[in-house]
Amino acid sequence: MHEPGDVMSNRIAHAHRVERVLQALGWTVGFVGLVGAIVFAAFWVAGDLSAEQAVSLILGTTLATILSGASAYGAGVNVGLSADRLSVAIEGADPVAEPESDRA
């Protein structure tokens, strides 16, 4: 059977792995959104898109993608901070017994 401390340590380690995945996903999605904005702008400059179409694509699709990436990144940071808080709470709940000193 697993000790409670082992289970929590495993959960904290898992949370840190999830944090890294979400942050990587956030950067990737944000980068894809930025590339999309550059591509749409290039099509606009080349004359393949009207100004209305270009602005609609850049503001609608691309910025939504970038914001989704930022949300995923922020979720990863939140998971990591929560894991750190849990780790600190566990350490605080299980203090090492220190001998009492005599104050005379």
> If we measure between CA atoms, which residue out of 46, 23, 27 comes closest to residue 35?
27
- Provide the whole-model pTM: 0.71
The pLDDT value recorded for residue 101 is 54
The pLDDT value recorded for residue 3 is 67
Strands of the chain, DSSP E:
none
Taken in order 71, 77, 83, 89, the sign of the CA dihedral is: negative
Cα-based torsion angle of the residue sequence 36, 38, 43, 44 in order, rounded to the nearest 10 degrees: 120
The pLDDT value recorded for residue 1 is 52
**Cα separation of 74 and 98, whole Å?**
40
The pLDDT value recorded for residue 90 is 84
Q: Which residues of the chain fall short of a pLDDT of 50?
A: 97, 104
The pLDDT value recorded for residue 21 is 94
> If we measure between CA atoms, which residue out of 61, 56, 75, 53 comes closest to residue 33?
61
Take residue 93 and report the two structure tokens written for it.
Answer: 């709940």
Q: Give me the residue spans of the domains in the chain.
A: 22-91
The pLDDT value recorded for residue 98 is 53
Do 77 and 23 contact (CB within 8 A), yes or no?
yes
The pLDDT value recorded for residue 51 is 87
